[in-house]
Amino acid sequence: MVEWDGRVLLTTPRLLLRRFRRDDLPLYAALNADPEVARYLGGPLSRQDSDDIAAWAQECHDREGLGLLAVERRQDGAFLGMCGLHHQASLPDDVEVAWRLAHEHWGHGYATEAATGWLDHAFGPLGLPRVISITDRPNLRSLAVMRRLGMEFDHEAEIEDMGQVFQAVVYSITAERWRDARQR
């Protein structure tokens, strides 16, 4: 049974990174149904598919301490989208940092800030040696976030996600490089 407890896991200067609450689900479904948000993610999702992804994220967190979980703006409690760490099925030996924010919240640095929080967690308490991020080559916004995080091109890969296969670029950063950049 999925618990929709909304428990805060991490904080950043402007954000709460937390588990989903039941009242997030309609907002999450709306962003997943937005063609602009879903442009590089295989297309818009149904409400049921969106809810299933949120439930999967909660279960991943329960099982592994990872998950693509809710992002909330601290100032006003607005649900912005999701960000977190997970194992992408096509590259199961790696942990990916990923994000998906509602279109109206793009361009404010929230994806970079949320991913930074998760990378601090990955390379701190979780002790991971490296983290990857995956996108389509034309997804310039996600590529820009990856570069702002200090990630570098790692390789190209054929990725299967939710039954769809696409050619992707994979960026990565090691724990050592992350720590060195954070100390500057």
Domains of the chain: 8-183 (3.40.630.30)
Nearest to 45 by CA among 25, 26, 31, 56: 31
Nearest to 156 by CA among 167, 143, 140: 167
* 97/111 Cα distance (integer angstroms): 11
Condensed to tens digits (0 to 9), the pLDDT of residues 113-132 reads 999 999 999 999 999 999 99
Q: Which of 36, 39, 20 is nearest to 28 (CA)?
A: 20
Element (H, E) at 50: helix 47-64
What is the pLDDT, as a whole number, of residue 1? 83
User: The pTM is what?
Assistant: 0.95
Q: 106 forms bridges with which residues in the sheet?
A: none
Q: Is the pLDDT of residue 43 over 90?
A: no
Give the chain's mean pLDDT.
95
CA 71/CA 106 separation, integer angstroms: 13
Contacts of 5 (CB under 8 A, 6+ apart): 19, 21
